[in-house]
Amino acid sequence: MKVAVVGATGLVGTIMLKVLAERNFPVTELIPVASEKSVGKELVWKGKSYKVHNMEQAIAAKPHIALFSAGGSTSLQWAPKFAEVGTYVIDNSSAWRMDPTKKLIVPEVNADVLTQNDFIIANPNCSTIQMVLVLHPIHKQYGIKRIVVSTYQSVTGTGVKAVQQLENERNGIQGEMAYKYPIDKNAIPQIDVFMDNGYTKEEMKMVNETKKILRDESVQVTATCVRIPVMGGHSESVNIECANPVNPNDLQKLLAQTKGVVVKDDIANFVYPMPLIDANGKDDVFVGRIRADETIPNGINMWIVADNLRKGAATNAIQIAEYLVAQQFVNKS
């Protein structure tokens, strides 16, 4: 099993390598890929040194699977070239997510739509992944009519430059700015660029991706995405209007039985999910503060937290790869 990691030296690529090792993914040959400035350098994985390749070298090696985390333009240019040599590409950028010919996958929700001929597979937005994992069983059981979500997103979602900006500001150091404004002690209500409708690209990703993954265009979604000075994961305040009556206690039990979801909801003992305390370094999605919305029929409020670099990116991608292997798509290719 030859596995290429494209963007291996980046924040998500580094976590991909870590998760591959942790989950004992059956790698017999690792092909780290990065930008030209990193080509020829060595990185250590599972105690062994590997040279960083460029794109052409990686394609020539004909990997079985390529995990991409190198940005949308890179993916648009190179993913098809990997696919042409029979490589299954799992792409973490937004490049292919809304392409009607490509599948957008959260394995616990919709892996069943994958076929042996899906050589480019899209990994959803980090905020979407954690939300739909919780929404999926609710939609099946109660029918979701409308979702109002506000996100509180970690600086790690922007990358190394943003983490450095936060650290610099906390230490009183002048440095390169990832954001237009200071992030320490601040909240920036803009993630990605603004669209013509006044929403940001990140907000519209959540709207469109949620419908595609749940396979239901009738679900209404509206989002506000905010960057805050935290590490460890993204948090979301989610308001759901269901088609059928829903009881918070029943919902708690339903979510407790959902694979990949951990319910932390005991307000009498101040138990609720937090990014640094609960999600940091974990692959689960945590949910709490489950309560009735008393202003509408069949309304529910909840708080969802997950590590955006793991389940929100690297782990979800590797779970897709695990599914391809389990279905023997890779071995047959």
Catalytic amino acids?
Answer: 126, 234
- Checking DSSP bridges between strand 2-6 and strand 29-33, what pairing results, if any? parallel
Distances (CA, A) of 85 to 27, 81, 331: 19, 7, 14
Residues 4, 78 contacting (CB under 8 angstroms): no
How many Å apart are CA 291 and CA 77, to the nearest integer?
A: 46
Residues 268, 258 contacting (CB under 8 angstroms): no
Q: Which residues sit opposite 31 in a β-bridge?
A: 4
Cα 172–chain centre separation: 32
Kindly give, in sequence order, each residue whose CB lies less than 8 Å from that of residue 30, ignoring residues fewer than 6 positions away.
3, 5, 17, 20, 45, 50
Residue with tokens 């069983």: 137
